Amino acid sequence: MIKYSLLIIFFFSCLFLAHGQLENHLDNIMITSKKKKTQVKADKNGKLHVNVSPKDVLYFKAMGGVSYSNFGAVGDGKTDDMDAIAATHAFANLHALRVKADEGFTYYIGGKERTAEIRTDTDFGTAAFIIDDTEVQNHRASVFLVASQQRPFKVNGITSLKRNQEKIDLSLPRSCLISVVNSNVKHYIRYGLNQDNGSQQTDIFVVDKNGNVDLDAPIIWDFDQITDMTAIPLDTTTLYISGGRFTTIANKAESKYNYYSRNIAITRSNVVVDGLEHHVIGEGDHGAPYGGFINIRDCAYVRVKNTLLTGRKTYRTIGSAGKPVSMGSYDLLVNRALNVTLENCRQTNDINDSTYWGVMSSNYSKNLIYDHCTFSRFDAHKGVANATILNSTLGHMGINAIGSGVLTVENSTIRGKTLINLRGDYGSSWQGEIVIRNCIFVPEGGKTSSANIIGGAYSGQHNFGYTCYMPETITIENLHIDDTHHPEDYKGPAIFKDFNEEMTDDTYIEEFPYIRTNEIILKNVTTASGKNLIISRNPFMFKDVKVNTY
């Protein structure tokens, strides 16, 4: 029997030696299985050398999982455990093992550049993680990267695309997230204090192996030319990440646009994050902004639930127009991602406290959902196609969006300056429809103000790189506006804010015409003041909009 057991060990050891050399593409990790003790060492160049004894290989595989203490993590909240954490995940990835944090441990993660790549189910449990950002080697390096085994590849031969195109002449190994770019066209040419020269035309969508486009997240632009097309294969299984109490000791860098990414980045499709907490301590009178503690990018079908995030302190700097601006700083960021849902999530600090920036931002994304969330805001910078806010409460920054498709707000309370703000720095454009149903709107959180349901600004003199649209139709049903506190000259809540104070008659010419709303449908809109809705405090701009009341 002993001889037989030794043969098994020998067999698996040889198998591991033959296949167990792993070069982690981010962290530069080498794994071996020599007849020495299991240990983790970093060489002078920062490369991790991980040796796992043959006996431990068999044990870990028999158990089906590993913990950070198996690779030397101390968990005393003082000793830097990042090498052990990265080694644990590298070994787990190699053998498809789950990872479970040690109960009662507090892992300290210092400022050295090291990323732990997660490719297997991970349970952070009740363990605590302290991420110290006061001195870091590379502020752009993620602490954890939730990555796919699948590798992106270039797609050639497709020279153009059309908006809402249903099929592409492609044959793929499996369903893929397609990212397409035309670098010769500029979109989102930003206006205002953070003005810029725009971004290259970009779109993302899912196609099956036969090239059929998932029309729930359609192609939204005409591409007359394609300079780059990349296919990212979708993972067919779901990866689960649960638990964990993370605390960031905030950076003390200069207050300028130099975003920190000491975070959990998710680049794999089909991921569920459940029960995570993120806290922030040590914010002072200055600091660099953050690009999301949870950063979801270049993927699809991600669900974050039962999660606690933290609004970041607002710092000011000099913007691109040479004037002071407040810097956006985020705990949740979604870029180039489809079908992302936040369910039963909230933040640690007061959603009405304007000293903290809005907790979330997004760019180039589609089908974003809040459900039972309590956050300071929802935001879509460079367009969102279809957004839904359900059963939620949003604070001082409210809903900010530009994009297309359907923007739905239902069974929610909004406490922003407007119920929905169509971002003026990107043309206040929404090509589609807005539906507001069974909601309560508390303008500016109850401060004295004139209520505006739809906010925005559009001069008609700036080229944003695309035609700008107001929503084609706006449906408002069962809305109560708590306008108890209003100024003396208040005439009632306005459907539209004054988008252009200079446009008061036909003599004003828009160099870049704004496509106006066709129809507004009103059903059971009530106000605390008892005053009726008005179209706008500057009605000329909206004189041709049909308003139907039922």
pLDDT tens-place string over residues 275-322: 999 999 999 999 999 999 999 999 999 999 999 999 999 999 999 999
In which band, very low, low, confident or very high, does the pLDDT at 28 lie, cut at 50, 70 and 90? confident
DSSP string, 132-157: E-SS-S-TTS-SEEE--SS--EE--S
Rounded to the nearest 10 degrees, the angle between the axes of helix 54-63 and helix 2-19 is: 90
pLDDT of residue 3: 39
In which band, very low, low, confident or very high, does the pLDDT at 16 lie, cut at 50, 70 and 90? very low
In which band, very low, low, confident or very high, does the pLDDT at 90 lie, cut at 50, 70 and 90? very high
Average pLDDT, the chain: 94
In which band, very low, low, confident or very high, does the pLDDT at 515 lie, cut at 50, 70 and 90? very high
pLDDT of residue 6: 37
pLDDT higher than threshold 60 for residue 15: no
pLDDT higher than threshold 80 for residue 14: no
Please name the residues in contact with 170: beta carbons below 8 A apart, sequence gap of 6 or more.
155, 158, 207, 210, 211
Q: Compute the average pLDDT of residues 501-507.
A: 96
Write out pLDDT tens, residues 395-422.
999 999 999 999 999 999 999 999 999 9
pLDDT higher than threshold 60 for residue 7: no
pTM of the model: 0.94
In which band, very low, low, confident or very high, does the pLDDT at 27 lie, cut at 50, 70 and 90? low
Contact 473, 517 (CB under 8 A): yes
Q: Compute the average pLDDT of residues 313-332.
A: 94
Q: Return the biggest CA–CA distance within the chain.
A: 97
**In the chain, what are the domain boundaries?**
2-132, 153-233, 417-550
pLDDT higher than threshold 90 for residue 24: no
Strand partners of residue 122: 99, 241
Least confident of 27-31, 441-445, 496-500: 27-31
pLDDT higher than threshold 70 for residue 530: yes
CB atoms within 10 A of CB 546: 10
Q: Compute the average pLDDT of residues 232-248.
A: 97
Burial class from Cβ neighbours inside 10 Å (0-12, 13-18, 19+) for residue 89 reads: buried
Write out pLDDT tens, residues 366-404.
999 999 999 999 999 999 999 999 999 999 999 999 999
